A and B are shown apart, each in its own frame.
Chain A
Amino acid sequence: MSSNKKYWKSVEELNGNSSIVEALRNNEFVEEIPTDEFLGDKSSLSSSSTTRRDFLKYVGFSTAAASLAACEGPVHKSIPYVIQPEQIIPGVADYYATSVFDGFDFANLLVKTREGRPIKIDNNTITGAKFAANARIHASILSLYDSMRLKEPKITGKAATWSDVDSKVKTSIAEAKAKGGQVVLLTNTLASPSTEKLIAEFITLNPNSKHVVYDAVSESAALDAFETVYGERALVDYDFSKASLIVSVGADFLGDWQGGSYDKGYAQGRIPKNGKMSRHFQLEANMTLSGAAADKRVPMSTANQKQALVKIYNVITNSSVAVSLDKEFDAEVTKVAQQLKAAGSKGVLVSGIQDKNAQLLVLAINQTLASESFSTLGTRQIRKGSNEKVAQLINDMKAGSVHTLIMSGVNPVYTLPNSKEFTDALKKVHTSVSFSLKEDETASVATIAAAAPHYLESWGDVSITKGTYGLTQPTIRPLFNTKQFQDALLSWNGSAATFYDYIKANSAGIISGSTWNKVLHDGIYVGAIASASSSTVNYGAAASLLAQSKGVEGLELVLYTKTGLGDGQQANNPWLQEFPDPITRVSWDNYVTVSRADADKLAMTNEIVANGGLDGSYATLTVGDIKLEKVPVIIQPGQAKGTIGLALGYGKKAALKEEMQVGVNAYSLYKGFNNVQSAKLTKSSGSHEFACVQGQKTLMGRGDIIKETTLEIFNTKDAKEWNEVPMVSLDHKEVEATTVDLWTSFDRSVGHHFNLSIDLNACTGCGACVIACHAENNVPVVGKSEVRRSRDMHWLRIDRYYSSEDTFAGDNKKKEEFEGLFGKKGSLGGFGEMEKAADNPQVSFQPVMCQHCNHAPCETVCPVAATSHGRQGQNQMAYNRCVGTRYCANNCPYKVRRFNWFLYNKNSEFDYHMNDDLGRMVLNPDVNVRSRGVMEKCSMCIQMTQATILRAKNEGRAIVDGEFQTACSNACSSGAMVFGDVNDKESHVAKLGEDDRMYHLLEHVGTKPNVIYHVKVRNT
């Protein structure tokens, strides 16, 4: 049935005469389609002989040709030296000894170079070289290859030559002389005998000039105190290995207090020997590495610390200065003081209170104790800055009396609290020069931004402690058009010599009995030290002044430096940014740390959200008239009530990749160079997404992961009691887990069998091993958002656990006493409680890397046999075999396998060092750079053990103990990590394996790991 319905296209059809209706009938489109626009003019189109078929042929052919051409392998060029330097053999690493001091960190180093490029920092272990590299020094190798470095000198922002710079500065100096203006050299602490001499010469030549030393993070109080007593601006180099009792009043000496680097001596005394180990009391506000290591930690505000210090002073010196210490601390502090007095010369007290009086009391107490750890010989020269002189300089600048300002190694525009004032005053300075690695905040406002070389490209000398003399030598030719401050100074002094000549000449007078070549080879020279004479000081007056000092109003803000970034000069270093803070385990951020009580009061929260990331409230932090908006909050167990902490070194913007511009600048709150400020904290809206690598805080009473005991139990009880062997059920009988085995064991008695031993007593959580592992194994940086998704690539992590009760032992006890699911002792509620850390918890660190299980669960589940076991004990990972099923990671009880979710090198999505040619120069050529879709993990540095074996084979000799090393054991200065061959029965690690304290992680799983741990003993 056909329909008679007529379908209308438009109303126009009503009108039969409409032109549109007519047009629509004939043409589908009313208007002509503008084909000319994309087909060109008709004439050329019709004249073309290319038909549609031809076109398709061409397309097909060119596609085929392109794919065929792509099949051909790439051509690699190989360019040998024209004249090969005698010492360099391609493929063989060279090591150069050097000593470094960058104004904040210092160390005696061996720099590993391959084909002329430095790729790794190792510790110099020669006698006399006592300062090991920390995480930042290990990472500094990457800062050398920073693509954001200042590559040439600039005058008012425009590229210039060095002769332009020299003539401009010389003219300015002459003009200053003529006009009577000041020439000021503003530098970081130099600790360099030659540079100091050079500056003295400069001042002699230009009497209108002066030298101001400025430390971004000031130690002025301790320096002033020491200067008052001993007439020398220096810091005491404590030897904690000689102490049986260490009392620290707010001094994070395992962190950056007075330069740090105390781990080695401290750890020596912490390993129980003949039933003895040192005892460590820590009174502090923020939770620090030292606090975590302490046997007894008392959280208290700085105001209370001052009172406590006076109280201890009273006890030690039998004085009676009136003290107003909060009652709750009274008993504890008295106990500490009495124990310290009893310890006598075996005791030592240190303090980080930035108050000259407090520091005077420290000297008084240690003098009275006649502490063996306290010596005024061989003092540290690494901080010289004077707060007063810096303040004076800014006043001079404001008054317009500074004509020329020459800066080196400082970034006052970023680090000064009154940075705005400085910037304004700088406008009154005629010429300003800033020698800097980066075009940082200061260099970009200075008249001349002078490109300075990295320490691995420069000559220098450094006297870290009095009586030692280290040489800094270049390990690579300058990458850019840079000039050392000292070389520039020499030319301004009118000398034609280079700084190298100058040091060489100058060192002759210092290195008596040795030669230049020997010192250069060793990297360090130890000379005789003259003793300092002390003068009498009225300590009593200092004590009463300190006792009268008032606490702050509101919250007490304690500024500190983080293990990762320190003073912030390496903020563009992705290794350090991604390094998780040892305490909070948060990377890529700074944040204000608040105690649980204060957080509850302010309604601030931290929570783990659905994707596993940690979110925290934002706060507004007000100090005086300065307000920091949107500061993320971390609730920190152990934070003293009424105090908050904030790390310096973040919030930098200049010469930083966008990803690194994280955090807030706490220097703006660092008023009067005082790390304690009165602050106000208010909650603001929104929540911050942290990149925290450890969600869980406590051990939940699982004492078999970190085994802890007290010295008393350790000394009196049988090892089976405090180092329990886990039991499993076999044929319905309880037997020791180590005796049960599902698998047949391989014979490992022949050849080498590697073990890595980790002593939890010696581990301070410093993180040097983590960065050393990055450098050695080409571990990629994944960025903040990936870390938040738990996709961090760290092969070695340092787990941090808090106790939920006051002690870990309390946790274990609580867990054991659970009865049933519900009720008071029910495990359901009980475990919920145990998830929360105590207000002042015990803290333990545990470095965890691949445990190289002899019966590895990962190996059995790999469908392609990409991971297999070597007879030397290493669990091997063949990346080229891996297809990325991730079964292994799921079956690993230790969760140490990391998966490459993305391509992290040569990928602009991950714009870190592996994305540019310069940054890739740091890669270790002996280790593969992994690609996307591949599982990776700690290899126990098989490239290093293989290299050691090969060296011995080449030389035709047996291997001696200590030769086998991994990157982490090499970097560990505290001696916590020991690596070696257990088939060599005399080796250190074999003996550690026999120790009573030895245990394996998750022993009941039966994986038989090749990494061993040692029970942590606390001397409470």
Chain B
Amino acid sequence: MKKVGNHNSISRNLFFSLAVLLTFSLTSIAQTAAPAVADAAAPVASGGDPVKGKEIFNTNCAACHKLDAKMTGPALRNVSQRREKAWIYKWVHNSSDLIKSGDADAVKVFEENNKIPMTPFPQLSEGDIDNIIAYTSEPVAAPVAAAVGTAASPGTEANAGGVSNDIILGALSLVMLMLIVMLFLVNNVLTKVAKANGISVAEKEPTIPVWKAFAKNQFLVLVTSIFLLLASAFFVYGYLMQVGVDQNYEPIQPIHYSHRIHAGSNGINCKYCHSAARVSKNAGIPSLNVCMNCHKSISEVSDTTATPDHSKAFYDGEIQKLYTAVGWDKDNQKYTGKTQPVKWVRIHNLQSFVYFNHSQHVTVAGVECQTCHGPVQTYEIQKQFAPLTMGWCIDCHRKTDVKMEGNEYYTKIHEELSRKYGVDKLTAAQMGGLECGKCHY
């Protein structure tokens, strides 16, 4: 028996060492990726600072210009090769004057771009403009750099983690298997050694199998069957209670809209798009004109947005779906008037006998959208986070203090109720938030 104990500790040691090895190997893999980011873009200078230029470009120009594609204004890559610097200075400072002066180039540019005059930027110094020109004169970023960039993006890292987790699990089960085999072998060897040494291994006395003994004990059978019945009843009840509860319902939508990109990466406020949530019963799916506030100028995603699951081309295609729906001609920057309303699949379906009002929760109570809708900013596809059952509602109404400060409606009620209950903070339940008629009518 002692010897067996020894073997046991050996296998434990083996297991630990393997695990440690694997852990370290993982860290080293992660570290190798880091230095690649540093040499992403080598500056290509031509009389200005492209880094500063990029900054100025993004604040002032990016609303209407892109480097490689036409937007409201023309594409600006290598603009210094097409125009003289002096002309560019004049144009940027006041394009209308230049057009009025009858400059042929200026008139041509004006007419090519739907006669939309460019906002004058007198505040940009010639140095600033030089910096912008330097930025626009950079060569197109090499695809390698793009690949590195992708690898460094947070989404991919998480995914990479997922992959290595699988590897670890696989390796661990392999080790486990090896250990079992080893134990078996060791046992064999020991038996052989024992035989060779003439140590007799005690024969097992024939015993009644456990199950037979169990079956004979009527009390145990009764207790077990009661237990089993209760357990199955519990599970059946649990199953029935989740009928119609569509938690984690994640339907495929006509447009692959990523909350991760909009609310997460770009940090757009929920209520920018779902503006009705502030004033209405419905949060409202934003109408397409709200999308176009931004997407008029964002016709494609940046390279860094793409993930291994969804390529840049995929996302660009989804933006194109929006354009088709709203009737936007990207190339001519015009609405065609042909619209196809988007038929979204509704995710949160409350029964008709439940009244729920967003403004009550969002504006009055100041509840964060995420409380009920989950970490939406991380969702690639929106899903139903909460169970939306009555128990879930009630639970929150019991626990949540009503936000009364600064709301004159509550002044008198708060004073009287806090005197009645002897507390300063009142929950929604104490305000009458558990009454049937508050939600069912």
Smallest CB separation, A773 vs chain B (Å): 14
The answer to whether A89 and B280 have CB atoms under 8 Å apart is: yes
The answer to whether B406 and A956 have CB atoms under 8 Å apart is: yes
Q: A73-B246, A92-B279, A880-B351 are in contact. Are A956 and B441 (CB under 8 A)?
A: no
Interface residues of B in 8-40 (CB under 8 A from A): none
Q: Which of B49-57, B62-70, B219-227, B412-420 contacts A (4 or more CB under 8 A)?
A: B412-420
Q: In the assembled complex, which residues on chain A have CB atoms less than 8 Å from the CB atom of B409?
A: 949, 952-953, 956-959
Q: A75-B345, A956-B408 are in contact. Are A82 and B287 (CB under 8 A)?
A: yes
Q: Which of B111-119, B191-199, B335-343, B372-380 contacts A (4 or more CB under 8 A)?
A: B335-343
Q: In the assembled complex, which residues on chain A have CB atoms less than 8 Å from the CB atom of B285?
A: 78, 80
Is A361 an interface residue when CB atoms closer than 8 A count as contact? Answer: no
Is A273 an interface residue when CB atoms closer than 8 A count as contact? Answer: no
Compute how far the CA of A952 lies from the CA of B409 in the bound complex, rounded to whole angstroms: 6
The answer to whether A879 and B326 have CB atoms under 8 Å apart is: no
The answer to whether A90 and B343 have CB atoms under 8 Å apart is: no
Q: Mark B341-385, 1 if CB is under 8 A from A, else 0.
A: 111111001011111011110011000000000000000000000
Q: In the assembled complex, which residues on chain A have CB atoms less than 8 Å from the CB atom of B342?
A: 79-80
Q: A80-B285, A750-B417 are in contact. Are A958 and B408 (CB under 8 A)?
A: yes
Q: In the assembled complex, which residues on chain B have CB atoms less than 8 Å from the CB atom of A624?
A: none
Q: Which of B153-161, B304-312, B429-437 contacts A (4 or more CB under 8 A)?
A: B429-437
- Return the chain B residue nearest A866 by Cβ: B436
Is B284 an interface residue when CB atoms closer than 8 A count as contact? Answer: yes
Compute how far the CA of A719 lies from the CA of B287 in the bound complex, rounded to whole angstroms: 63
Smallest CB separation, A917 vs chain B (Å): 16
The answer to whether A877 and B288 have CB atoms under 8 Å apart is: no
- Return the chain A residue nearest B420 by Cβ: A750
Is B286 an interface residue when CB atoms closer than 8 A count as contact? Answer: yes
Given A80, A943, A954, A957, which contacts B364 in the complex, CB threshold below 8 Å? Answer: A954
The answer to whether B344 and A954 have CB atoms under 8 Å apart is: no
Q: In the assembled complex, which residues on chain A have CB atoms less than 8 Å from the CB atom of B406?
A: 956
Smallest CB separation, B388 vs chain A (Å): 12
Q: In the assembled complex, which residues on chain A have CB atoms less than 8 Å from the CB atom of B411?
A: 958
Q: In the assembled complex, which residues on chain B have CB atoms less than 8 Å from the CB atom of A871?
A: 432, 435
Compute how far the CA of A926 lies from the CA of B288 in the bound complex, rounded to whole angstroms: 26
The answer to whether A870 and B441 have CB atoms under 8 Å apart is: no
Q: A876-B435, A878-B436, A956-B406 are in contact. Are A80 and B441 (CB under 8 A)?
A: no
- Return the chain B residue nearest A941 by Cβ: B441
Smallest CB separation, B350 vs chain A (Å): 11
Given A79, A90, A927, A956, which contacts B341 in the complex, CB threshold below 8 Å? Answer: A79
Is A81 an interface residue when CB atoms closer than 8 A count as contact? Answer: yes
Q: In the assembled complex, which residues on chain B have CB atoms less than 8 Å from the CB atom of A71?
A: 243
Smallest CB separation, B26 vs chain A (Å): 42
Q: In the assembled complex, which residues on chain A have CB atoms less than 8 Å from the CB atom of B441?
A: 876-877, 926-928, 939, 942-943, 946
Is A868 an interface residue when CB atoms closer than 8 A count as contact? Answer: yes
Is B47 an interface residue when CB atoms closer than 8 A count as contact? Answer: no
- Return the chain A residue nearest B278 by Cβ: A954
The answer to whether B438 and A954 have CB atoms under 8 Å apart is: no
Given A90, A747, A877, A928, which contacts B280 in the complex, CB threshold below 8 Å? Answer: A90
Is A929 an interface residue when CB atoms closer than 8 A count as contact? Answer: yes
- Return the chain B residue nearest A874 by Cβ: B437
Interface residues of B in 386-441 (CB under 8 A from A): 406-413, 416-417, 420, 431-432, 435-438, 440-441
- Return the chain B residue nearest A952 by Cβ: B409
Q: A89-B279, A876-B436, A879-B353 are in contact. Are A80 and B413 (CB under 8 A)?
A: no
Interface residues of A in 847-904 (CB under 8 A from B): 866, 868, 870-872, 874, 876-881
Is B325 an interface residue when CB atoms closer than 8 A count as contact? Answer: yes
- Return the chain B residue nearest A84 by Cβ: B287
Compute how far the CA of A749 lies from the CA of B415 in the bound complex, rounded to whole angstroms: 12
Smallest CB separation, B435 vs chain A (Å): 5
Is B301 an interface residue when CB atoms closer than 8 A count as contact? Answer: no
Given B353, B407, B416, B420, which contacts A880 in the complex, CB threshold below 8 Å? Answer: B353
Smallest CB separation, B186 vs chain A (Å): 52
Is B282 an interface residue when CB atoms closer than 8 A count as contact? Answer: yes
The answer to whether B353 and A80 have CB atoms under 8 Å apart is: no
Q: In the assembled complex, which residues on chain A have CB atoms less than 8 Å from the CB atom of B326?
A: 82
Compute how far the CA of A90 lies from the CA of B406 in the bound complex, rounded to whole angstroms: 28
Compute how far the CA of A81 lies from the CA of B340 in the bound complex, rounded to whole angstroms: 10
Is B127 an interface residue when CB atoms closer than 8 A count as contact? Answer: no
Interface residues of A in 934-973 (CB under 8 A from B): 939, 942-943, 946, 949-950, 952-954, 956-959
Q: In the assembled complex, which residues on chain B have CB atoms less than 8 Å from the CB atom of A958?
A: 408-409, 411-412
Is A751 an interface residue when CB atoms closer than 8 A count as contact? Answer: yes
Interface size class of B (residues with CB under 8 A): 35 or more
The answer to whether A928 and B435 have CB atoms under 8 Å apart is: no
Identify which of B359, B406, B409 gathers the most chain A CB atoms within 10 Å of its CB: B409
Q: In the assembled complex, which residues on chain A have CB atoms less than 8 Å from the CB atom of B358?
A: 91
The answer to whether A956 and B290 have CB atoms under 8 Å apart is: no
Is A77 an interface residue when CB atoms closer than 8 A count as contact? Answer: yes
Compute how far the CA of A593 lies from the CA of B240 in the bound complex, rounded to whole angstroms: 60
Given B244, B290, B351, which contacts A84 in the complex, CB threshold below 8 Å? Answer: B290
Compute how far the CA of A956 lies from the CA of B290 in the bound complex, rounded to whole angstroms: 28
Is A83 an interface residue when CB atoms closer than 8 A count as contact? Answer: yes
The answer to whether B364 and A950 have CB atoms under 8 Å apart is: yes
- Return the chain B residue nearest A929 by Cβ: B352
Q: In the assembled complex, which residues on chain A have CB atoms less than 8 Å from the CB atom of B438?
A: 870, 946
- Return the chain A residue nearest B410 by Cβ: A953
Compute how far the CA of A877 lies from the CA of B441 in the bound complex, rounded to whole angstroms: 7
Is B218 an interface residue when CB atoms closer than 8 A count as contact? Answer: no
Is A732 an interface residue when CB atoms closer than 8 A count as contact? Answer: no
The answer to whether A750 and B346 have CB atoms under 8 Å apart is: no
Compute how far the CA of A872 lies from the CA of B432 in the bound complex, rounded to whole angstroms: 9
Q: In the assembled complex, which residues on chain A have CB atoms less than 8 Å from the CB atom of B351?
A: 880
The answer to whether A76 and B435 have CB atoms under 8 Å apart is: no
Q: A89-B280, A91-B281, A876-B436 are in contact. Are A82 and B343 (CB under 8 A)?
A: no
The answer to whether B436 and A881 have CB atoms under 8 Å apart is: yes
Given B341, B349, B363, B364, which contacts A73 in the complex, CB threshold below 8 Å? Answer: B349
The answer to whether A953 and B286 have CB atoms under 8 Å apart is: no
Smallest CB separation, A865 vs chain B (Å): 8
Compute how far the CA of A954 lies from the CA of B412 in the bound complex, rounded to whole angstroms: 16
The answer to whether B346 and A76 have CB atoms under 8 Å apart is: yes
The answer to whether A950 and B360 have CB atoms under 8 Å apart is: yes
The answer to whether A83 and B287 have CB atoms under 8 Å apart is: yes
Q: A82-B289, A84-B289, A84-B290 are in contact. Are A953 and B432 (CB under 8 A)?
A: no
Is B109 an interface residue when CB atoms closer than 8 A count as contact? Answer: no
- Return the chain B residue nearest A930 by Cβ: B353
- Return the chain A residue nearest B251 by Cβ: A75
Q: A76-B346, A876-B437, A939-B437 are in contact. Are A751 and B353 (CB under 8 A)?
A: no
The answer to whether B345 and A878 have CB atoms under 8 Å apart is: no
Compute how far the CA of A949 lies from the CA of B413 in the bound complex, rounded to whole angstroms: 12
Given A749, A866, A926, which contacts B355 in the complex, CB threshold below 8 Å? Answer: A926
The answer to whether B435 and A82 have CB atoms under 8 Å apart is: no
Compute how far the CA of A943 lies from the CA of B413 in the bound complex, rounded to whole angstroms: 20
Q: In the assembled complex, which residues on chain A have CB atoms less than 8 Å from the CB atom of B175?
A: none
The answer to whether A77 and B346 have CB atoms under 8 Å apart is: yes
Compute how far the CA of A747 lies from the CA of B344 in the bound complex, rounded to whole angstroms: 47
The answer to whether A749 and B290 have CB atoms under 8 Å apart is: no
The answer to whether B437 and A76 have CB atoms under 8 Å apart is: no
Compute how far the CA of A23 lies from the CA of B366 in the bound complex, rounded to whole angstroms: 92
The answer to whether B282 and A90 have CB atoms under 8 Å apart is: yes
Identify which of A871, A874, A946 gathers the most chain B CB atoms within 10 Å of its CB: A946
Compute how far the CA of A970 lies from the CA of B313 in the bound complex, rounded to whole angstroms: 58
Q: Mark B250-280, 1 if CB is under 8 A from A, else 0.
A: 0100000000000000000000000010011
A–B pairs, 17, beta carbons within 8 Å: A71-B243, A73-B349, A75-B346, A76-B346, A80-B287, A80-B342, A82-B325, A82-B341, A91-B280, A91-B284, A749-B416, A750-B416, A878-B436, A878-B440, A881-B436, A953-B409, A956-B409
Further 18 A-B residue pairs, CB within 8 A, beyond A76-B345, A79-B343, A871-B432: A73-B349, A78-B346, A80-B284, A82-B341, A89-B280, A91-B280, A91-B281, A91-B282, A92-B280, A750-B417, A751-B413, A751-B416, A877-B436, A880-B354, A881-B436, A926-B281, A926-B355, A942-B437
Q: Can you list the 3 inter-chain pairs with the closest CB atoms, starting with the nearest?
A: A876-B437, A91-B280, A84-B287
